[in-house]
């Protein structure tokens, strides 16, 4: 319940930002599922011709232990056909995200810092002049850097596969 309330507040705050520029700035709220966690991702994007750079916070839950985690993400999007509010807009996307997830058990502490890079593609669809839906999917790699407060043979760096699926709603200022 608490989590749903936070979602609602963030969405409400995002759509309260009234337009100041000529459609060059977007605010977006997305739901992202990655290999490690599920996030809410409120972001701001800056458009320039065929390129958009977007960034924001990640607020979510780790899958396995349901720990609440915070992080950040930056996306680089390339629209080969430019953006058009009347059509589906296809884009390529590269994103980098970071979040950390400390795991405590009695006196043992493992600090996990996770970096994911994914490459993929997605679509935007304008419902009106200003509001659009977006969705993308990406695959890539992940590195998990760990710090332990006890002696262990477990590796400090763990490498893995990263995937990302997201779905969101944006508002063009």
- The binding site for other proteins (CB under 8 A) comprises 3-4, 7-8, 11, 15, 29, 31, 33-36, 38, 40, 63-66, 103, 105-108, 110, 112, 127-128, 131, 146, 148, 150-154, 158, 161, 163-165, 167, 169
Question: Do the beta carbons of residue 27 and residue 170 sit within 8 Å?
Answer: yes
CA distances, 30 to each of 146, 147, 148 (Å): 28, 30, 33
Nearer CB in complex with other proteins: 81/108: 108
Let me know the angle formed at the C-alpha of 159 by 153 and 164, rounded to the nearest 5 degrees: 140
Work out the widest C-alpha separation in the chain, in whole angstroms.
Answer: 59
Nearer CB in complex with other proteins: 31/78: 31
Nearer CB in complex with other proteins: 94/169: 169
Q: Shortest approach of other proteins to residue 156 CB, angstroms?
A: 11
Read off the tokens for 106: 């009695």
Nearer CB in complex with other proteins: 45/60: 60
């Amino acid at each position: 319940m608490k989590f749903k309330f936070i979602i609602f507040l963030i969405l409400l705050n995002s759509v309260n930002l009234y337009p100041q520029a000529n459609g060059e700035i977007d605010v977006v709220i997305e739901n992202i599922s990655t290999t490690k966690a599920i996030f809410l991702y409120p972001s701001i994007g800056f458009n320039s011709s065929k390129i958009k750079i977007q960034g924001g916070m990640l607020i979510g839950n780790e899958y396995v232990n349901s720990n609440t985690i915070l992080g950040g993400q930056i996306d680089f999007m390339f629209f080969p056909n430019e953006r058009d509010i009347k059509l589906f807009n296809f884009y390529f996307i590269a994103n980098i995200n970071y979040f950390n997830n400390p795991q405590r058990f009695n006196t043992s502490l493992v600090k996990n810092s996770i970096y994911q890079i994914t490459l993929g593609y997605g679509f935007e669809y304008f419902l009106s002049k200003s509001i659009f839906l977006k969705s993308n999917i990406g695959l890539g790699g992940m590195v998990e850097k760990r710090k332990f407060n006890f002696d262990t043979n477990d590796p400090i760096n763990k490498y893995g596969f990263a995937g990302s699926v997201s779905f969101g709603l944006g508002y063009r200022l």
